[in-house]
Amino acid sequence: MHYRELLLFLFKKLEHERSVNAVFHLLKGKKSAQTLQDAYLFQIENFYGIDRKLKKTTFNNHVKDLIENHYIQVANDQALLTEQGDQYLSGKRLQSYYQMKGHKYHQIDREFKQGLFLLIQTVSMLIHEENKFIPIVDQSYIQAKVRELLRDYSMQFDTIAEQLYGELHTVLSTIDDCLATVLLKQCSGYDRVGMSEQQIADEENVYKEDLHLQSIAAIHNILETITEHPEQYSLLTRLIWKKTNRLTASAQETFDLYQAGHTLDEIASLRQLKVSTIQDHFVEIATHKKNFNIYSFISEQVLDQIQEAIQNTSTRKLKPIKERLHEEIDYFHIRLAIATMNDDKE
Amino acid sequence: MNSTAPHDIEHALIKLFGYKQFRFGQREIIESIRNGNHTLATLPTGSGKSICYQLPALIGEGLTIVVSPLISLMIDQVKLLKAQGIKRVASLNSMMSAKQKLAVMNQLGAYKLLYCSPEMLQQEQVQQVLSNKKIDYFVIDEAHCISQWGHEFRPDFLRLKDVIKKFNNPTVLALSATATPSIRQDIIKQLELPMKQLIYPIDRPNITFSVDEVIPNRKDERLIELIEQKSIPTMIYFSSRKVSESISRLLQTKFPDRRVAYYHGGMEQDERLLIQQQFMNNQLDIICCTSAFGMGVNKSNIRLVIHYHMPATIESFIQEVGRAGRDGEQSVSILLYAPGDEFLPFQLIQTELPTEDEVNLFLRENLNGQLEDYLNETKIRFLELQTEQHQQLHQDDRRREIIQYRDERERIKQQSIFKLVDWIKSATCRRVGLFYHFQKEVTKAQYECCDSCDFRLENWRHTFESYQKKERSIQKNWKALLDELLIRG
């Protein structure tokens, strides 16, 4: 499974319709209405957010290579497949890509992977009577989750080890051997530290991005199987974070602080962020959260005025709206008001 | 604080850390602070500096604050302590989320040791919470960073003296492995405290020094030769992330039987963690790294430290070399030098200090909010502190002061590069040349001394076991790996 094939495939899907960058945003899982809509419109939602750490320079390098190998041409910011590109693509079996389910799992796949790695490491250490070790995953909430899980099993390490081994053996047998191997090479345990994706890629002489696709596919395959048959995978399903949160992590943090009783200005100083950044977060929160009470920021009266102005200008551009309003009403208020008009909330 | 019978701290040493005996200097430093003396102490890297405050902290009544310049160092320390079963430790740093910070501050009572960056200690909320606590000791690790003559000068270190007062003057311990007499004086001056000095020699007699001068474009060739000859656990230091990667790849290609990896600050956190632990677990033979690696890496059997690029100061050089031979066995430092190498550290100075034009720009224009477009973070921090310090001055005087200060800093930095270049080019004893800045007498070498005295790398016959054959994970499939992990052998 190669990254460049996937790029070529995605460029083909968006040919004549969208810019080169649309593919970048798709892979990164950009949280914009446009990107999400496109994903479904062009039936490439499986790839939404499958490479959330993708860097622009890395992406550009792959694109440059495709151009230099005469697989695509880029004109007006759009990628067109050459005859050679089309031929190359038609010779590939691309079904394997469909095993990914980016739209479904992009919010939980990384946490699941890390939780899995930490659980494997911990159990492996404990059955070897090694109870002092450095956890391979730093995030404290993942550590807490695994600790809680172990506690629920009353620390019966041999029992957990047996069950974990059994569930992993069963689920990995259902997926491609190569994918399973790539995943397990990354695992740490007693007297062995796992390899990084980069190291495995170097060893196999492929790009790190190629290898990342394999890892993520492995994780999505596992998630698909265990969520379909949760009764068979009672241990592994415990590693799924129930999260359908549409907020960015940073906005979520702001929201948590807000719910804990802090004001906008307090949050800005606590987090050492600009007030305008925190305002952005509140706009995001107002867009997505049903139970968010906007009236602590604007009065009902002001909200009415803004909404009226929006209807009268029949635009969602900010400037013409602001010009129709009293000058004390600032852009933050207007953006909040627009946000409340979003009816797709959770 | 009262002095306790000596066997108490010995008992704690065994119980908490599993050591039967104190190492050189540790007991004296511990007793000094337990008797309530503000203390400035030097001990070589890798000699158990941290026990000097960890032990008193853990058996004390109140909280100990440890100020540490590097976040990665702080995180490593906390992790290591926790892995040893010492759980009452936490850190406060800028890499944590507001929620995590709050969680730590809300349960300060649960901790004995709190690692903090100097920047965090400037936050009002942090100060407020901590000033209501009983603080036993205030420790400044890598204390040379306080000094403008030290190599990692950070403005917020200068404000520590006020923090100490706010915390009701706990006993202060300033620790360093690289503090010259002038730096030590400066530390005491900056802290405005009477301090007892416990100065131990910082040279490590089991390390042999060598400088290898090569023609500019023959460096890689020479490096490959070295690696070929010496099949021993090796660290190679670079100033550039990119070069550390490319040389790592080169070496892996040339030596497929050895396990080579790279490590630098530009890598993702997960990956850095893996590489560091592979190295600690003896799964790597050669690591190509930048100075981001190593602080807090306590691996005992590093036999060879090669510098592919020269560092910017003698202090960083000593610190990096100090990663070698912590088990006391012979280890060798090789600095590869090609004429013109000093150009790189000189260039780095320009990215650290604002130019005169940039100073003017900062003072004249109102760049609020778009400062980052014009200046990098280091420069902004420098300028902000300087403007703050000369607030009372008239605009023009302030400008003059700042520029003068900037020029002085540039001169200091350039001088320290020149000092290292002089050392590289000198034909006298390397140990004397390195350590006479720090101490009156240089300890006699335990094995060979240096390339000026008695050492020829070609003749070095080390007795260390060479590599185990590289385990080719590529041949293993998932079933074998799963068995290895989860079935007790």
Closest CA to B218 of B208, B230, B226: B226
Percent of chain B at pLDDT > 90 equals 52
| Phi, then psi, of B36 in degrees rounded to 5 | 85, 15
B-proximal residues of A, 278-317, CB under 8 Å: none
Within 8 A of A191 by CB-CB distance, chain B residues are 281
- For testing contact with chain A, the best of B72, B270, B278, B381 (most A CBs within 10 A): B270
Strands in B274-401 per DSSP E = 286-289, 304-307, 331-337
Q: What is the pLDDT of residue A1?
A: 62
Q: What is the pLDDT of residue A244?
A: 54
* Cα–Cα distance measured from residue B114 to residue B88, given in angstroms and rounded to the nearest whole number: 9
Find all residues with CB under 8 Å of A173, minimum gap 6, and list them.
Answer: none
A-proximal residues of B, 243-262, CB under 8 Å: 249, 252, 261
* Cα–Cα distance measured from residue A243 to residue A229, given in angstroms and rounded to the nearest whole number: 19
B-proximal residues of A, 250-279, CB under 8 Å: 253, 256-257, 267, 270-272, 274
Q: Are B35 and B41 in contact (CB under 8 A)?
A: no
What CATH code is assigned to A249-340? 1.10.10
Q: Collapsing DSSP states into helix, strand and coil, what is residue A198? A: helix
DSSP A65-102: HHHHTTSEEEETTEEEE-HHHHHHHHTS--GGGGG--H
Cβ count near B379 (within 10 Å): 20
Q: What is the pLDDT of residue B439?
A: 87
Tell me the C-alpha to C-alpha distance, in Å, between residue B274 and each of A193, A238, B88, B267. 7, 25, 25, 11
* Cα–Cα distance measured from residue B467 to residue B285, given in angstroms and rounded to the nearest whole number: 8
pLDDT at residue A96 above 70? no
Residue B85 in contact with partner chain A when CB distance is under 8 A:
yes
What domains does chain B contain, in order, with CATH numbers? 6-199 (3.40.50.300), 202-489 (3.40.50.300)
The closest CB to that of B261, out of A177, A199, A272, belongs to A199
Residue B370 in contact with partner chain A when CB distance is under 8 A:
no
Report DSSP state, residue B4. P
Closest CA to B147 of B101, B178, B110, B108: B178
What CATH code is assigned to A3-98? 1.10.10.10
Cβ count near B358 (within 10 Å): 18
The structure tokens listed for B390 are 């000369």
Percent of residues in chain A assigned helix, strand, coil, to nearest 5: 65, 5, 35
Closest CA to B193 of B138, B131, B127: B138
Which residue of chain B comes nearest to A200, CA vs CA? B474
What is the average pLDDT score of chain B? Answer: 88
Asked whether the beta carbons of residue B481 and residue A184 sit closer than 8 angstroms, the reply is yes
Residue A100 in contact with partner chain B when CB distance is under 8 A:
no
* Cα–Cα distance measured from residue B300 to residue B185, given in angstroms and rounded to the nearest whole number: 33
* Cα–Cα distance measured from residue A145 to residue A305, given in angstroms and rounded to the nearest whole number: 47
Closest CA to B202 of B342, B41, B87: B41
Maximal CA-CA distance, chain B? 75
Residue A202 in contact with partner chain B when CB distance is under 8 A:
yes
The two domains A3-98 and A249-340 share their CATH topology (first three levels equal): yes
Question: Which sequence spans correspond to the domains of chain A?
Answer: 3-98, 109-239, 249-340
Confidence of residue B484 (pLDDT cuts 50, 70, 90): very high
Least confident of B99-103, B215-219, B426-430: B99-103
Closest CA to B249 of B196, B214, B200, B286: B286
CA distance A257 to chain B (A): 8
Per-residue burial over A50-85, b = 16 or more CB atoms within 10 Å of its CB, e = otherwise: bbeebeeebbeebbeebeeeebbeeeeebbebeeeb
| pLDDT digit string, tens, across residues B21-53 | 998 899 999 999 999 999 999 998 777 889 999
Residue B275 in contact with partner chain A when CB distance is under 8 A:
yes
Which residue of chain B comes nearest to A253, CA vs CA? B99
Q: Are A178 and A217 in contact (CB under 8 A)?
A: no
CA distance B240 to chain A (A): 19
| pLDDT digit string, tens, across residues B130-184 | 999 999 999 999 898 888 666 666 777 888 999 999 999 999 999 998 888 888 9
Q: What is the ipTM of this complex?
A: 0.79
Asked whether the beta carbons of residue A196 and residue B270 sit closer than 8 angstroms, the reply is yes
* Cα–Cα distance measured from residue B136 to residue A184, given in angstroms and rounded to the nearest whole number: 47
